A and B are shown apart, each in its own frame.
Chain A
Amino acid sequence: MIKIMVCAKRVVDANIKVRVKSDGSNVDIEHSKMSLNPFDENAIEEAVRIKEAGNASEIFAVSIGSEKCTDTLRTALARGCDRAILVRTSANIEPIHIAKTLKQIVLREKPDLILIGKQAIDDDANQVGQMLAAMLDYPQATFISKLELNGNKIIACRELDNGTESLEVTLPAVVTADLHLNEPRFVKLPQLMMAKKKTIEHIELADLGISTKPSTRLIKAMDGEIKKNCIMLEDCTQILKILNEVT
């Protein structure tokens, strides 16, 4: 039986269109609906399936950020995690700080498997899992669409640009989830009620002795979407004409 750590990043909901502040200083997300990062949902779902199959003794979830992350952790608990840890900070943290923080939690909790989303849908960085694995000198099964636990080994299928590859990693290890890993279940009311009874431990990031010195500085944010003036065509011949012109 293994112990699994999952993460729960609080991000702007995937269905919300994020806008840039009028002065271009940053994105405007103050009043946006927030959700659990979809990739973390896949990671949590996989952890829960491992536990349901009788192969895990415990799943704990970690979130790093403001007190509001307790909502995100409640969602993770409702999805089947047993307990949660909130590492509280008001600092603007980057992937490198998150990885350093998670490393401290790993050293304290000693999970066998760290199962997290391959990226977060806000910064789309795709870095934390690899950074954390490096800091712990653990193997990293990244961008995983299939996972099979066999004793203290995992056979994982990694998504590549032109196919997939199969890896065998020995625990302890970091696995980062692709969206194709599974279909997260719907959470029902009884689970939401039960989640309220589970514990969320609070830790101050400052107490972990981690520097949050920024590695980047945001200069300006711009609207990334360029709308085009679409010329409407009437028939196939016109499509062909354009294809011939542009190729």
Chain B
Amino acid sequence: MKTLIITTITNGKINQNLLPLLDSAGKICDYCDVLILGHDLAAAANEAASINGINSVLTLESAALEKPLAENIASQLSEIAKGYTHVLASADSFGKNLMPRIAGVLEIGQISEIVKVVSPNIFKKFIYAGNVLVEIESLEDIKLLTVRTSNFNGKREPRAESAKIVAIAYNNLIHPNIKWLSSNIVDKSVDLSSAKIVISGGRSLGSKEDFDTHIRTLANKLNAAVGATRAAVEAGFAPNDCQVGQTGKVVAPQVYLAIGISGAVQHIAGMKDSKTVIAINTDQTAPIFEHADYGIVADLFDIVPELYNQL
């Protein structure tokens, strides 16, 4: 058995989700290669080569891969995949876009968002917005998996001798019908997916101003990431990438502070693996309290400023 992790870089560095990906790959077998794709990979490749648990670091480097569009890499990656029993990527917007395209090229099935490796063939994942957990066996010779990295351990283990770095030549099969135009990346002080504390607000915040004054200010003071329910996002209180839930992000911080959130199942799907959940809501029958370790029935407009002042 051989596993391959496919990842990219952020600002020249390896993505933080490589560590939990390695943890998941290590639960499958002892052999793991890491393929990094993008442009200017030297620093990231060296960094990866110093992490324990990697056999070889493969680089797929080209100026054309600065923005690694799935259309330009899936055919080459599907050829590379044939040398492995398992291919893994993080279940983020990169992995979710790419892995099914590789599966489509190979015309085989794929398993999305695994949360546990039971055995090399058997994985656990959620369906129905997290209401149901299933254990499924992959019947394919090559198992294509995306991994919910918040469910795996992100500990970095150093090694004595660096792994070897192998450069793979890009086949230059650039799809003529897609062009990357621009991006609008929100530079957040704290990343929602890997934050230790997440403070989320719901529709009861009432306005963007109140969301900012109550949720954002508190988050800044606690060095926490800001989350929001779908309702709050749709009401324009917070940008789309703050959305926590079935269709947004899945987070598992040390502390999840749910402020004015009722607890729709679609939202619970995105935060139920948090270590400690504290809920603030005026309605004591709100479902969020069934998923919280601690709760307080209070008006957020009273309690949040008080909390802020006492910090």
Residues of chain A having any CB pair with chain B under 8 Å? 12, 14, 17-18, 20, 27, 94-96, 99-100, 119, 121-135, 137-143, 145, 155, 158-170, 173, 178-180, 214-228, 230-240, 242-243, 246-247
Q: Do residues A180 and B307 form an inter-chain contact, with CB atoms below 8 A?
A: no
Contacts of A165 in B (CB 8 A): 67, 180-184
Which 9 residue pairs are nearest across A and B when measured between Cβ atoms?
A: A215-B109, A134-B104, A131-B104, A130-B100, A139-B178, A224-B133, A127-B100, A165-B183, A170-B177
* B134 partner, pick from A155, A220, A225, A240, beta carbons under 8 A: A220
Q: Do residues A119 and B247 form an inter-chain contact, with CB atoms below 8 A?
A: yes
For the complex, what is the distance from the CA of A153 to the CA of B239, rounded to whole Å?
Answer: 27
Given contacts A121-B128, A168-B181, A220-B135, contact A161 B240 (CB under 8 A): no
Q: Do residues A134 and B128 form an inter-chain contact, with CB atoms below 8 A?
A: no
Q: What is the CB-to-nearest-CB distance from B285 to chain A, in angstroms, rounded to a whole number?
A: 12
Q: Do residues B185 and A132 form an inter-chain contact, with CB atoms below 8 A?
A: no
Q: Do residues B127 and A123 form an inter-chain contact, with CB atoms below 8 A?
A: yes
* B186 partner, pick from A94, A162, A247, beta carbons under 8 A: A162
Residues of chain B having any CB pair with chain A under 8 Å? 67, 70-71, 74, 92-93, 96-105, 107-113, 122, 126-140, 175-186, 188, 191, 193, 196-197, 222, 230, 233-234, 239-241, 246-247, 249, 254-255, 265-266, 268, 272, 275-279, 289-297, 303, 306-307, 310-311
* B111 partner, pick from A143, A163, A216, A243, beta carbons under 8 A: A216
Q: Do residues A130 and B272 form an inter-chain contact, with CB atoms below 8 A?
A: no
Q: Do residues A17 and B265 form an inter-chain contact, with CB atoms below 8 A?
A: yes
Contacts of B110 in A (CB 8 A): 95-96, 125, 127, 131
Contacts of B249 in A (CB 8 A): 161
Contacts of B104 in A (CB 8 A): 96, 99, 130-135
Q: Do residues B137 and A217 form an inter-chain contact, with CB atoms below 8 A?
A: yes
* A225 partner, pick from B191, B272, B278, B289, beta carbons under 8 A: B272
Contacts of A131 in B (CB 8 A): 100-101, 103-104, 110
For the complex, what is the distance from the CA of A231 to the CA of B296, rounded to whole Å?
Answer: 9
Q: What is the CB-to-nearest-CB distance from A168 to chain B, in angstroms, rounded to a whole number?
A: 4
Q: Do residues B139 and A215 form an inter-chain contact, with CB atoms below 8 A?
A: yes
Q: What is the CB-to-nearest-CB distance from B113 to chain A, in angstroms, rounded to a whole number?
A: 7
Given contacts A131-B104, A139-B178, A163-B186, contact A224 B128 (CB under 8 A): yes
Contacts of A230 in B (CB 8 A): 279, 289-290, 292-295
Contacts of B266 in A (CB 8 A): 14
Q: Do residues A161 and B193 form an inter-chain contact, with CB atoms below 8 A?
A: yes
Contacts of A178 in B (CB 8 A): 240, 247
Q: Do residues A126 and B292 form an inter-chain contact, with CB atoms below 8 A?
A: no
For the complex, what is the distance from the CA of A172 to the CA of B255, rounded to whole Å?
Answer: 46
Q: What is the CB-to-nearest-CB distance from B278 to chain A, in angstroms, rounded to a whole number?
A: 6
Q: What is the CB-to-nearest-CB distance from A54 to chain B, in angstroms, rounded to a whole number?
A: 24
Q: Do residues B293 and A180 form an inter-chain contact, with CB atoms below 8 A?
A: no
- For the residues of A in contact with B, the DSSP-based class is mixed
Given contacts A95-B100, A167-B178, A216-B111, contact A237 B184 (CB under 8 A): no
Q: Do residues B101 and A160 form an inter-chain contact, with CB atoms below 8 A?
A: no
Given contacts A139-B175, A162-B185, contact A246 B136 (CB under 8 A): no
Q: What is the CB-to-nearest-CB distance from A104 to chain B, in angstroms, rounded to a whole number?
A: 13
Q: What is the CB-to-nearest-CB distance from A167 to chain B, in angstroms, rounded to a whole number?
A: 6
For the complex, what is the distance from the CA of A239 to the CA of B199, rounded to whole Å?
Answer: 13
Contacts of B137 in A (CB 8 A): 216-217, 219
Q: Do residues A219 and B122 form an inter-chain contact, with CB atoms below 8 A?
A: yes
Q: Do residues B293 and A162 form an inter-chain contact, with CB atoms below 8 A?
A: no
Q: Do residues A223 and B132 form an inter-chain contact, with CB atoms below 8 A?
A: yes
Q: Do residues B100 and A240 form an inter-chain contact, with CB atoms below 8 A?
A: no
For the complex, what is the distance from the CA of A170 to the CA of B293, rounded to whole Å?
Answer: 50
For the complex, what is the distance from the CA of A183 to the CA of B297, rounded to whole Å?
Answer: 33
Q: Do residues A219 and B255 form an inter-chain contact, with CB atoms below 8 A?
A: no
Nearest to B128 among chain A residues (CB) is A18
* B241 partner, pick from A27, A123, A161, beta carbons under 8 A: A161
- Some 30 contacts from A to B, beta carbons below 8 A apart, are A17-B265, A27-B128, A124-B127, A127-B110, A130-B103, A134-B102, A141-B178, A158-B93, A162-B191, A164-B241, A166-B180, A167-B178, A168-B178, A180-B234, A215-B139, A216-B136, A217-B139, A220-B134, A221-B134, A225-B131, A228-B277, A231-B293, A232-B294, A233-B296, A236-B303, A237-B310, A238-B296, A243-B222, A247-B197, A247-B254
Q: What is the CB-to-nearest-CB distance from B241 to chain A, in angstroms, rounded to a whole number?
A: 6
Nearest to B305 among chain A residues (CB) is A236
For the complex, what is the distance from the CA of A119 to the CA of B128, rounded to whole Å?
Answer: 11
Contacts of B230 in A (CB 8 A): 179
Q: Do residues A142 and B97 form an inter-chain contact, with CB atoms below 8 A?
A: yes
Taking A216-B111, A233-B295 as known contacts, 9 extra A-B pairs with beta carbons closer than 8 A to each other, sorted by chain A number, are: A17-B265, A18-B128, A94-B109, A124-B129, A178-B247, A218-B134, A219-B134, A230-B279, A235-B296
Q: Do residues B109 and A96 form an inter-chain contact, with CB atoms below 8 A?
A: yes
Give the one of A96, A167, A215 with max B CB within 10 A.
A215
Q: Do residues A95 and B109 form an inter-chain contact, with CB atoms below 8 A?
A: yes
Q: What is the CB-to-nearest-CB distance from B256 to chain A, in angstroms, rounded to a whole number?
A: 10
